[in-house]
Amino acid sequence: MDKLSPISAGIAVAATLAVLNTLCAIAVAIWPDGVLAFFNSFAHGLDLNPIKSAQPLSLFRFFCGLIGLGLVGFIAGAIFAWTYNLVARE
């Protein structure tokens, strides 16, 4: 079985989350209430409206989220690949 590179997997997951974060930010900028209603369906009946930010989305907040998700994605991808390589030994 082929090994996964933790660096490559980390970069792939980080890039995937960066794209999803960007698409989500665009959707929030265009249709904030619709996006909130959409994510309410993921929350199994919880009402997310009380945590809706009163501030509009700024570039600073967008890039903070982008960097944060990128770091989390890189770490998650690297841990996934490392764990995969550990348990997939032949």
Q: Domain for residue 33, yes or no?
A: yes
Domain count, the chain: 1
Q: Domain for residue 39, yes or no?
A: yes
The predicted-structure confidence for 22-35, as pLDDT tens digits, reads as follows 999 999 999 998 99
The predicted-structure confidence for 43-81, as pLDDT tens digits, reads as follows 887 888 888 888 888 999 999 999 999 999 999 999 999
Q: Domain for residue 27, yes or no?
A: yes
Helix 6-30 / helix 59-87 crossing angle, nearest 10 deg: 150
Whether the pLDDT of residue 14 is over 70: the answer is yes
**CA neighbours closer than 13 Å in the CB half-sphere of residue 60:** 2
Q: Domain for residue 35, yes or no?
A: yes
Q: Domain for residue 17, yes or no?
A: yes
Q: Domain for residue 1, yes or no?
A: no
Q: Domain for residue 73, yes or no?
A: yes
Instruction: Quote the domain boundaries for residue 31.
Output: 6-87
